[in-house]
Structure 1
Amino acid sequence: MTYGTNPEERYSYGEVSDADRRDFLKAFGVIAGGGIAGATLRDLRAEVSSGAAEGLAEMGEAVRGGLTGTLDAALLNEQLAGLEERFELLPELDSMGIPEQGASAYQELTTAAWVINDHLAEVGFFASAEENLPAFTPDHIEETTRQLLHIEELPTALSEIGFAEGEQTALVTNIVNAREQLSWWMNTPDYPPADVVEDGVVYEFVAPLHQRGAEGALLWIDGLDYHLWQNKVLITEEMLDRGLWDVKSMLGGYYLLGSAVRDLAGGEISDESLSALISGGTAITIIGQEFLRNDAIQITDPMRAPREVSP
């Protein structure tokens, strides 16, 4: 299932142009007026109505009720604080450039997230999310994004982990503008089985949708130390810059997912916000890893650094 959009032209690397803003608003049936490049989340909130949240609320309640274990509030608070600290390492990675052989700078970004991830899998969170939330259909993307825009605390939460206003806007607009990247990520039971088609799946070996998105992002980040070092003669500054934004996006998406579950454990989140942050956070992790692959992993000849010519 594809949505007929061109994500390569619509993806924002931390800065939303007026054209990006217009594309985003057009998806909600809003004809944008005068240009305000660099629009903030609050600007977009004023232009996009919240819509009905009853469906998201019912889904969030079902996710809450579908857990098979008890969320550990203390663990989630501790590890989410650890994840917040990892964002402070991103400027160092920017200055570092290509890692040295054997370095683990990128892997260090994900240590707290992996602890959260293991706990969520253990209590049945990912299974409940897949069972009770739709995949990334056009309607669900629209409903989720509307709700995200109207979560009052979202700009402050993202600001506290180092996302400037333009970067906050890019995280949310990319969910809609780059939604083509979400179109092939389906709930596990919706993939054809291996005993029916050649490239089908064996269900017991495929994780739930939101777990695949979250863990995939962490695995891509973990592999960057070796990948960048191994391919250092091919890597350009543009690859590093774009790749670092993709990494920051994935961590930001994981943070939104993790903070929603932390607030769920503390009884401090509405059901509609829970649904929106699970789906929205997962969407951001998926889009980030899809673009990381294009930006810095699958290096084509036109992308690569110029070959050195021997004298």
Structure 2
Amino acid sequence: MRHENHTQHVTDEERRDFLKALGLGGVLTAGGLTLGEVREQMATESATGLSTIGEAIRADLTGTLEAETLATQQETFVEAVNALPAAAELGLPEEGRREQFASLAGAGRPVYDHLGSAGFFESTTQNLPAFGPQNLESSVEAFASSEALAAPLEAVGFTGQEGVDMLATVVANARELATYHWVATDELPRERFEFSRHVPPMTKAASGGVLLWMENLDEHIWKKRVLLTGEILEAADWHVQTMAAGFQLMTEGAAAIADESGRFSNQELGALFSTAFAVQAIEQAHLANDVYWITEEMRAPRRTDLKTITS
């Protein structure tokens, strides 16, 4: 999977805001940075709140997750991410609907099902605080300062500026996420709304939504191909890549709990899960805006079929 065109979906202003949130606004310039370069300039600080979150999730789930299952299915998912061809490079489908994005969803589905049966989503929803700018910036700061947390991103090709752009997107959309896209499940007024009894835990909704969008995207591209441009296909690539990175981070955290390796501290685990679910939730909204809700200004120029006119 290629990342050459991601720069048009994350602005230099968003990258500068990300650096300011880390206290590095006057130290580094925004363009072309990697997470490693950012980390070199950061002072490590203790994040008690994140440590408490990580500790609680670890305590809930130790002994309930199957290490071998997660390791096998995670490997399959990573292989599927790295084998996925760029939609923009393939161009618009001519002969029929492709299954490139659905195949990625299929590789992620066994991970999602196992986490669901093990109570993972209930624990993460209960222990993660409601998303807000301050909480998310703290999570992003802790994530950026950790070399261990960058490794799962490298497995899905986020080896350069992509990791910075992923975190910059979280900072840029923190307020919108808190306001419109994330409501703690236990805060729903269940006595007033019948539907609220059927709402899944919020982390499950975020992760499951990623798979549902991927499962539908091939059909959307096929049915709406007359409207699509190269820019829209590039946006689809980037948002799917970033959703997949968030899914990979989530899986890596679960796998670390399952195999009891201790490769992440409690603080790192809290930062990892908070960031992973924020990325998955944000990118779903961006995929809808940039790929599904095609305005007249976005759409491809209308084409006249001369054969139809003359027949």
Q: What is the TM-score of this pair, normalised by structure 2?
A: 0.87
Cross-structure match for 1:5:
none
CA pair 164-66 structure 1, distance change in 2 beyond 3 A: closer
The farther-off stretch of 136-145 and 28-37 is 28-37
Match status 1:81 vs 2:75: yes
Q: Tell me, in whole angstroms, the C-alpha distance in 2 between the residues paired with 1:34 and 1:218.
A: 36
* Aligned-pair CA distance for 1:72: 0.7
Q: Tell me, in whole angstroms, the C-alpha distance in 2 between the residues paired with 1:80 and 1:14.
A: 27
Contact 1:18–1:37 (CA under 8 A) maintained in structure 2 = yes
Q: Residue deviations 1:113-171, cap 9 Å, x none?
A: 11111111111111011111102122210221111112212334322321231112111
- 1:187 aligns with one of 184, 187, 207: 184
- 2:84 aligns with one of 85, 90, 93: 90
- Secondary structure of 1:103 counterpart: coil
CA pair 36-175 structure 1, distance change in 2 beyond 3 A: closer
- 1:226 aligns with one of 215, 219, 234: 219
CA pair 68-166 structure 1, distance change in 2 beyond 3 A: closer
The farther-off stretch of 87-96 and 108-117 is 87-96
* Aligned-pair CA distance for 1:189: 2.0
Cross-structure match for 1:27:
21
CA pair 211-202 structure 1, distance change in 2 beyond 3 A: same
The farther-off stretch of 70-79 and 91-100 is 91-100
Cross-structure match for 1:60:
54
- Aligned pairs for 1:258-273 (under 5 A) are 258-268=251-261, 269-273=264-268
CA pair 19-102 structure 1, distance change in 2 beyond 3 A: closer
- Secondary structure of 1:91 counterpart: coil
CA pair 57-201 structure 1, distance change in 2 beyond 3 A: farther
CA pair 69-186 structure 1, distance change in 2 beyond 3 A: farther
* Aligned-pair CA distance for 1:201: 6.3
Contact 1:189–1:203 (CA under 8 A) maintained in structure 2 = no
- Structure 1 counterpart of 2:67, one-letter code: A
- Aligned pairs for 1:125-136 (under 5 A) are 125-136=120-131
- 2:301 aligns with one of 297, 300, 306: 306
Cross-structure match for 2:139:
144
- Aligned pairs for 1:97-116 (under 5 A) are 97-99=91-93, 100-116=95-111
* Aligned-pair CA distance for 1:111: 1.7
- Secondary structure of 2:84 counterpart: helix
- Structure 2 counterpart of 1:138, one-letter code: P
Q: Residue deviations 1:153-206, cap 9 Å, x none?
A: 23343223212311121111111122234122121122344x53xxx5633211
Q: Tell me, in whole angstroms, the C-alpha distance in 1 between the residues paired with 2:45 and 2:203.
A: 24
CA pair 14-81 structure 1, distance change in 2 beyond 3 A: farther
- Report which of the two has the higher share of helix: 2
* Aligned-pair CA distance for 1:32: 2.3
Q: Tell me, in whole angstroms, the C-alpha distance in 1 between the residues paired with 2:48 and 2:172.
A: 25
- Structure 2 counterpart of 1:124, one-letter code: G
Q: Tell me, in whole angstroms, the C-alpha distance in 1 between the residues paired with 2:63 and 2:195.
A: 26
CA pair 17-182 structure 1, distance change in 2 beyond 3 A: closer
Q: CA RMSD in A?
A: 2.2
- Structure 1 counterpart of 2:126, one-letter code: E
Q: Tell me, in whole angstroms, the C-alpha distance in 2 between the residues paired with 1:50 and 1:14.
A: 28
The farther-off stretch of 82-91 and 148-157 is 148-157
CA pair 18-310 structure 1, distance change in 2 beyond 3 A: closer
**Gaps spanning 5+ residues in structure 2: where?**
307-311
* Aligned-pair CA distance for 1:104: 1.8
Contact 1:30–1:47 (CA under 8 A) maintained in structure 2 = yes
CA pair 48-19 structure 1, distance change in 2 beyond 3 A: farther
User: How many residues of Structure 1 are paired with residues of Structure 2 in the alignment?
Assistant: 296
Q: Tell me, in whole angstroms, the C-alpha distance in 1 between the residues paired with 2:28 and 2:156.
A: 31
Q: Residue deviations 1:90-117, cap 9 Å, x none?
A: 3354432334534322110122211111
- Secondary structure of 1:223 counterpart: helix
**Gaps spanning 5+ residues in structure 1: where?**
1-11
Cross-structure match for 1:168:
163
